Each structure stands twice: as structure tokens, then as C-alpha cells.
Amino acid sequence: MPSFWAKLRQSTEGMQQQLLAKKNDLQSGGFRDASMAMCALVAAADGSIDESERQKVSSLITSNEALGNFPPESLRAKFDEACAKLTADYQLGKVELIQVISKTKKKPAEARAVIQIGIIIGGADGTFDDQEKAVVREACHAVGIDPSEFEL
């Protein structure tokens, strides 16, 4: 029986492949903004973002092939903007970022991709902790996706 971590790695690799297959459908500014909001929420899931975590997530974002439709500096700027909102006022920033994510609800492929990106970023360090799962679950509710679809 595969360990939880092996299952998580297989799951995130599978999600990455799904995202790559849909890459041509994931070109809107709304998708970019929602993806970066999701990444910032996952990075700050414990209530704060330290600089090393921010750098690590930024690096993952700019090297992710599924986000390759967007210039890396555009992704980094949107991610930094989202992080700044969370740093200034975590609760208010979180509400604003969940609203950005909820705008993808009308485009199910984008909404699902945003959730998958959150899981990939959350699991990138080999752990997908309860706080990270909770933010991704909240995003699922915002876009009308049952969290159990992603075993959340």
C-alpha cells in the first residue's frame, strides 16, 4: 500500500498532467489572477508568509508549465500583489482573494484548474497540511466544486 506521501506525489503529478492537457484553455487573465490568489492563500495558510516560503512558491509558479501561457514576471507581480493583501490584513485579504477565485465559477475548467494548482503548490514541499487543505476547501466552496472530488 503506497504511503500517504507517495499518494500525494502521484496525485499532484496526475493533476499537473491534467493541467498541461488543458493549458490551451487556461489563458484568461481571470484564470491567472485566481491562480495567483490561490497560491498566495496556500503560502499564507498558517496566517503568515515568510520570505523563504514566498520565494519557494514564486519559483514553483514561474517554472510550472501549466502556467506557461503567462509571462513569469506577470505571474510574480500578481502573486506578490496577492501576498501583500494577506500581509496587510490577513482576514480582509483572504476575503478579497477568495472573491477573485470565485470569479472562475462560470468557467468550470478554470475553476478546477485553480483548485488543482492550490493542491500542487500545497503538496510541493512533501506535506499538504490541514491549514493548506482548509484554504483549498474554502476555494472549492467559492467555485461550487465539492471538496470531496479532491479528497479534501
What are the tens digits of pLDDT across the range 28-86? Answer: 899 999 999 999 999 999 888 888 888 888 888 888 787 888 999 999 999 999 999 99
Contact status, residue 41 vs residue 135, Cβ threshold 8 Å: yes
Whole-number Å distance between alpha carbons of 77 and 63:
15
Mean pLDDT calculated for residue range 85-112 = 95
Contact status, residue 143 vs residue 41, Cβ threshold 8 Å: no
Nearest to 102 by CA among 92, 93, 115, 90: 115
Give 53-62 pLDDT, tens digit per residue. 888 888 888 8
For the cut 80, the answer to whether the pLDDT of residue 25 exceeds it is no
Q: 10-14, 65-69, 106-110, 135-139: which range is least confident on average?
A: 10-14
3-state secondary structure 49-111: CCHHHHHHHHHHHHHCHHHCCCCHHHHHHHHHHHHHHHHHCHHHHHHHHHHHHHHHHHCHHHH
Nearest to 147 by CA among 115, 121, 122, 117: 115
For the cut 70, the answer to whether the pLDDT of residue 10 exceeds it is no
Among positive and negative, which fits the CA dihedral 28, 152, 136, 2? negative
Residue 112 Cα distances to 45, 77, 86, 140, 145, angstroms: 20, 23, 23, 8, 8
Whole-number Å distance between alpha carbons of 90 and 111:
23
Q: Which residue has the higher pLDDT, 22 or 34?
A: 34
For the cut 70, the answer to whether the pLDDT of residue 6 exceeds it is no
